Amino acid sequence: MTEQIVNGTRRVIDELEYIYYDGYWIRYYQPPEDNLTNRKRLIDSLTRRAFHHTEAGINTPGSCLEQARVAYEAQTNPQRRRVNAAMLAGALFNRATDLFTSIVDLGELGVKVSRSNELMRECSDSFQEALALGRQVKHYSGCEGIDEIWGEPFKAFTMTPEDFYQSRFIKIAQSKRDIDAISKCMIDIFCQSVLFADLQQNIVEFGEAAKKVSETMKSDPILFKVWPDFVALTEVLEDFHPEVCEDAEQLLHMQAAQGRALLQEGKRLIGYIAGARVSMPLSTQAYIEKCRQYDTPDSAC
C-alpha cells in the first residue's frame, strides 16, 4: 500500500530536515521565538520582500501617507487610480512597520504596550488597510497581483511565528505545484517536436532547481549551491535556439520562433514563482492555455 503522509510530517532527507504539505516535501526552518523583537525582524524582512516582488514606484514612505491618500481619493482615471491605490498601500505598510518599530523600541526601554494601546491599534489598522488595497498591487512583471506576498507582513503581525511559518510551507507547496504544471506543459507541448526534443532533460532539471529556490531561505548557506544551479539552468534555456533547415518553409521558421518565445515565457514565469514563493494561478493557467494553442511543428525542414 502507498504510504499516506500527513501534512506537517517532518523527516530528515539527505541530512536536511523537511516538512510535508499537500504532496511535497519542503525544506523545514524552525520558527523564531515569539517576542516583539523577532516579530519586528520578521515583519521588516517580509515588507522588504513584498516591495522587491511588486511593481516599481509604490514603496511610499510612511511619512507621506496623507499625501498618498489625498492623491488616491482625488484620482478619477481608473488606470491611474489603481497605481495611486498601490502607492497608498505602500505608504500604509511603511507606516505600520514604523509604528511597530516604535513599539519594539518602547518595549526595549521597559515600556509595555498592550494590544489595546492606541499605537498598536493604529499599527493594526494600517496593516489591514494596506492588505485591503493589495488587490491593486501587481507583480513587477505585470503578470498578476500576488495578494499572498502583500498580505504576509500583516499575517506576521497577527499570527504566532509558528502559525505563520506553517502558512508559508503551504504556499511553497502551492508554488511547487505551479512549477510542476508549467514544466510538464512545456515538455508535453514542445518536446514532442524534433525542434525542442533535446530540451526535455533541461526543463526537468530547471523545474527541480526552481523548486529548490522556492523553499530555501536566503540565510541558509545551501543557497550558495542552490542559486548557481538555478541560474546556470536558466541560462541553458535562454541560450537555446531551435535549428531549422535554411531552406525550410517560412511557416516552420515562424513556428520555431513562436515556440522559443513561449519557452522563454514559461522559463520567466517559473522564475517569478520560485522567487516570490507563492502560487501565480492566473498566470499559470493563462500560459498553459497559450501553449495548448501552439501548432507544434513535426519536422525541422
- The pLDDT of residue 190 is 87
Q: In what order do the strands lie in the sheet with 16-21?
A: 10-13, 16-21, 24-27
- The pLDDT of residue 1 is 43
pTM: 0.88
Indicate the residue type of 170: I
| Secondary structure in 3-state letters for 211-253 | HHHHHCCCCCCCHHHHHHHHHHHHHHHHCCCCCCCCCCCHHHH
The segments of the chain whose pLDDT lies below 70 read 1-2, 144-145, 298-301
Q: How far apart are the first and last CA of the chain?
A: 49
- The pLDDT of residue 203 is 96
Indicate the residue type of 256: A
- The pLDDT of residue 168 is 94
Please tell me the distance from the alpha carbon of residue 64 to that of residue 72, in angstroms, as a whole number: 12
